[in-house]
Amino acid sequence: MTSPIPGYDNQASIAKIMGDDPKHGFTPQELVASVYPHNGKPQPVSGWTYSNTNYILAQMIIEKAGGKPYADVLRGLFDQVGLKNTYYEENLYPASITDRMVSGYFFNHDPADEPLAPLLGQDVKNDSVSWMQGAGGIVSSMQDVSRWARALYEGPLLADKQRSELMTVVSDKTGEPIDGPSKDHPSAFGLGVGAGLRTALGAYWYYQGMTLGYRVLYGYFPKNGAVIILGLNSQPDDKQNHNGALLEEIYGLLHQAGKIE
């Protein structure tokens, strides 16, 4: 996340379409093009800035290099790890999947999300996921998320060199390479994974995926091999998103109960 490419989901043009037409089917090309407006140059970002455009570009590169749809590449990875309840669609999920999902609600009143106001209080589980695609269009059970997290850091999914690249991080503050999270740089980012340091948790790996109606956070703790998954069916204002504090509280309760060291 150190490229100078802005995030397409921060563009008012994309948000307006999402708010006005929740079933709209975006193409990857449409999402990427939105950050390069015809009426001027995009405003580049610097340092470390989370940009979902990077994921869409990676999706397009994977399809071009692999010669097959991105969904097929993901299915191969899911099967390799033994994920039985994990799915990817580029637009609309079929009823066979959505009927098994809990409803998800959009409650975000942050000023930047004003174009999404028509979605406030609405159940979004049947809406298009085309605005996410390679940036987060996956639906999964919490058990499968746990299996995936463990496979990333422990299992045979990645060769040693690949895992080393995955876990090579930069500071979320500066975007500069660092050895790992520290007191001065408590949050770092690798290849799609986060590294954190909290007094109550020690060093840990994590990732939080957030869509218009859902939030899922995993934490992997290398000192004891514990994996904790949190799933919530809403997207609230930023100030109401306390998943990190909740993860810390759950970890503490499990530690007190002797379930983890």
Contacts of 234 (CB under 8 A, 6+ apart): 104, 105, 106, 107, 213, 214, 215
> Could you tell me the pTM of the whole model?
0.92
Strands 194-198 and 202-210: antiparallel
d(CA 259, CA 244): 20
Q: Report whether pLDDT(46) > 80.
A: no
Return the pLDDT at 152: 95
Q: What does the pLDDT look like over 64-95, one tens digit per residue?
A: 999 999 999 999 999 999 999 999 999 999 99
User: For residue 20, how many other CB atoms are within 10 A of its CB?
Assistant: 12
Return the pLDDT at 172: 92
| H/E segment holding residue 167 | none
User: In the block, which residue shows the tokens 């043009």?
Assistant: 13
d(CA 235, CA 214): 6
70-81 and 142-153 helices, crossing angle to 10°: 80
Return the pLDDT at 39: 62
Residues 134-151: what's their mean pLDDT? 96
Lookup: tokens for 177: 């390479």
Assign 194 to helix, strand or coil: strand
Residues 24-46: what's their mean pLDDT? 81
What is the band of 4 on the pLDDT scale with cuts at 50, 70, 90?
Answer: confident
Instruction: Count helices and strands (H / E) in the chain.
Output: 8, 11
Domains in the chain, please, with CATH? Answer: 1-140 (3.40.710.10), 143-261 (no CATH)
The rounded percent of the chain whose pLDDT value lies above 70 is 97
Q: What does the pLDDT look like over 230-247, one tens digit per residue?
A: 999 999 999 999 999 999
Q: Is the distance from CB of 101 to CB of 1 less than 8 angstroms? A: no
d(CA 227, CA 254): 11
DSSP 219: E
Q: Report whether pLDDT(43) > 70.
A: no
What is the band of 44 on the pLDDT scale with cuts at 50, 70, 90?
Answer: low
Q: What does the pLDDT look like over 196-213, one tens digit per residue?
A: 999 989 999 999 999 999
Q: Report whether pLDDT(60) > 90.
A: yes
Q: What does the pLDDT look like over 156-195, one tens digit per residue?
A: 999 999 999 999 999 999 999 999 999 999 999 999 999 9
What is the band of 258 on the pLDDT scale with cuts at 50, 70, 90?
Answer: very high
Lookup: tokens for 197: 């340091």
Residues 104-111: what's their mean pLDDT? 95
What is the band of 42 on the pLDDT scale with cuts at 50, 70, 90?
Answer: low
d(CA 133, CA 28): 8
Return the pLDDT at 14: 94
Contacts of 56 (CB under 8 A, 6+ apart): 8, 28, 31, 32, 133, 134, 135
